[in-house]
């Protein structure tokens, strides 16, 4: 299929997890993909997977905390591909700590990656999408909708991404830009972020009424819909893919 034929996607955090799965799915559906990440070694595996599909990709080093690097990343993508049509903000970290134990340095580090990085992706994405239109996809979490006692900064950042998405969507619409801005809220997904301890994975699976944990491709498939023209009437919305977690 070619649901993204002719489109160019720039994805942060694309070297692993949901970012990597989304990059591969986008390429399978015809997109050319700019892989942005701090980890060029792990990105190599994603590049190989995309090339195996016959897709075209470009790796761009990007520390999402640095606005100048965002500017350079978009410039590199446009220089190589000509345009950018889709921006997916996937880069993220999860540092444990409740409101009493978390040090400010950890709090600031987490928000710098998860929230500030998303802000920069939206801000500079607008500059490149506002003439042609396009889609911006922000990765939030179920913990941007409900709390977790031991991940104060993660919850704060992901909750902020949820409403930042809505603000950006309203700004785009009222400015006459044909830019859709939406957020995805995954449940617990089998990625490097949650580790591979079988006892912990079994415990997490039981938190989801569907009875199992999601995989990165489950989120990538939702991102594919939001990147495609199939989602032309969706903006400012939150898409929960969580095996029933929030329904409880």
The residue behind tokens 């993204």 is 4
Asked if residue 96 lies in contact with residue 77, where contact means CB atoms within 8 angstroms, the answer is no
Question: Any catalytic annotation for residue 154?
Answer: yes
Q: Which residues are CB-neighbours of 169 under 8 A, at least 6 positions away?
A: 180, 181, 182, 235, 236, 237
How far is it, in rounded angstroms, from Cα 218 to Cα 238?
A: 16
How far is it, in rounded angstroms, from Cα 233 to Cα 231?
A: 6
Single out the catalytic residue among 151, 154, 177, 188.
154
How would DSSP label each residue in 15-29? Answer: TSHHHHHHHHHHHHT
CB atoms within 10 A of CB 79: 9
How would DSSP label each residue in 66-132? Answer: -HHHHHHHHHHHHHHHS---EEEE-------B-TTT--HHHHHHHHIIIIIHHHHHHHHHHHHHTTT
- Give the residue numbers marked as catalytic: 154
């Amino acid at each position: 299929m070619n649901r993204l034929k002719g489109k160019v996607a720039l994805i942060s955090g694309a070297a692993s997890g949901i970012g990597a799965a989304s990059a591969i799915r986008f390429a399978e559906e015809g997109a050319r993909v700019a892989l942005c990440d701090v980890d060029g070694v792990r990105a190599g595996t994603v590049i190989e997977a995309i090339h195996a599909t016959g897709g075209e990709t470009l790796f761009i080093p990007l520390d999402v905390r640095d606005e100048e690097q965002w500017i350079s990343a978009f410039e590199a993508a446009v220089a190589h591909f000509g345009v950018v049509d889709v921006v997916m903000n996937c880069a993220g970290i999860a540092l444990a700590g409740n409101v009493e134990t978390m040090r400010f340095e950890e709090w600031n580090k987490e928000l710098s990656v998860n929230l500030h990085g998303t802000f920069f992706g939206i801000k500079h994405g607008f500059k490149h999408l506002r003439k042609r239109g396009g889609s911006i996809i922000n990765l939030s979490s179920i913990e941007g909708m409900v709390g977790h006692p031991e991940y104060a900064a993660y919850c704060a950042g992901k909750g902020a991404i949820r409403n930042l998405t809505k603000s950006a969507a309203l700004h785009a619409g009222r400015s006459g830009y044909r830019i859709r801005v939406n957020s995805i809220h995954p449940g617990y997904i089998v990625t490097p972020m949650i580790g591979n301890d079988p006892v912990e994975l079994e415990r997490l699976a039981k938190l989801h009424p569907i009875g199992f944990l999601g995989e990165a491709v489950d989120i990538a498939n939702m991102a594919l819909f939001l990147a495609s023209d199939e989602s032309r009437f969706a903006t400012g919305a939150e898409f929960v893919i969580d095996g029933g977690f929030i329904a409880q």
